[in-house]
Structure 1
Amino acid sequence: MSGVAVGEECVTIYEEMKMSRKYKFATFRVNEDLTEIVPDAVGEPDADFEEFLSKFPEKDARYGIIDIDYEDDGCAKSRIVFIFWSPDGAPIRSKMVYASSKESLRRKFAGIMTEVQGNDLSDLTMDEIKGRIMRV
């Protein structure tokens, strides 16, 4: 545990995604004081996957959640997926703070069963994410 708190706005955004599909995605960052995880960006319900990926900086870590629509045995389904973004070019301190704070945020997002870690954008493809969903 890093001692970084999870801001209530993060939980509110997740609940609004889960209950009313108000957002397609959200990203979260650790504030400058390294004391709290706060919202970074949200995507409208019609936002696409590329817009979500554009919110992950090349040189810093982030957390994200995205509502993925998929088909299973001919039935349309959706699932919110947790993304831990830790690019190779991020500073070591940033990677450490984000890695040690991840579980605090995950615990606040009750019901998320799928997590994907990305160190490069090639790790975060729709095929990879849907593959993880289908294995759960």
Structure 2
Amino acid sequence: MAVHDDCKLKFLELKTKRTHRFIVFKIEEKQKQVIVEKLGEPSNTYEDFTANLPADECRYAVYDYDFLTAENVPKSRIIFIAWSPDTSKRELDGIQIELQATDPTEMGLDVFKSRSN
């Protein structure tokens, strides 16, 4: 699955210029690539972001989260979200364990065994 160049460009804009509050990415089946589906304006809220995640389809997203530390210092973190609503999983009736992995060690047979007990 390829990632369209526009995805990288828009993410770079979010990261360096803060021109977007969030980006929602969609897998375009016909083109066999990940594309930008929605860009959030810097003034958009978290509610605006969640309103752009479909209730019955999977998406990838990044969200630029602003917050204050315990010392009242403003910070921000870019958060990656793999959106997978329950309604999209119902198509695969019979799944008993759900696992998310970012490298092979997080989905080794020992992990399968520990999650199966």
Give aligned-pair identity as a percent. Answer: 32
Opposite residue 28 of structure 1, the aligned amino acid is F
Q: Is 2:37 aligned against 1:37?
A: no
CA shift at 1:34, angstroms? 6.0
Equivalent residue in structure 2 for 1:74, among 62, 72, 75: 72
TM normalised by structure 2 equals 0.73
How many aligned residue pairs are there?
92
1:47-74 Cα distance to aligned partner (Å, 9 max, x none): 1110100111111000111100011132
Aligned to 1:5: 2
Distance between the aligned counterparts of 1:27 and 1:52, measured in 2?
Answer: 8
Mapping for residues 1-136 of structure 1, pairs under 5 Å: 4-33=1-30, 35-72=32-69, 73-90=71-88, 92=91
TM normalised by structure 1 equals 0.63
Over aligned residue pairs, what C-alpha RMSD do you find?
1.8
Distance between the aligned counterparts of 2:65 and 2:6, measured in 1?
Answer: 22
Opposite residue 66 of structure 2, the aligned amino acid is D
Opposite residue 24 of structure 1, the aligned amino acid is R
Higher relative contact order (CA 8 A, sep 6+): 1
CA shift at 1:32, angstroms? 2.8
The gaps in structure 1 that reach 5 residues or longer are: 94-101, 104-136
Opposite residue 87 of structure 2, the aligned amino acid is G
Distance between the aligned counterparts of 1:38 and 1:86, measured in 2?
Answer: 17
1:103-123 Cα distance to aligned partner (Å, 9 max, x none): 6xxxxxxxxxxxxxxxxxxxx
Distance between the aligned counterparts of 1:41 and 1:23, measured in 2?
Answer: 10
The gaps in structure 2 that reach 5 residues or longer are: 93-100, 103-117
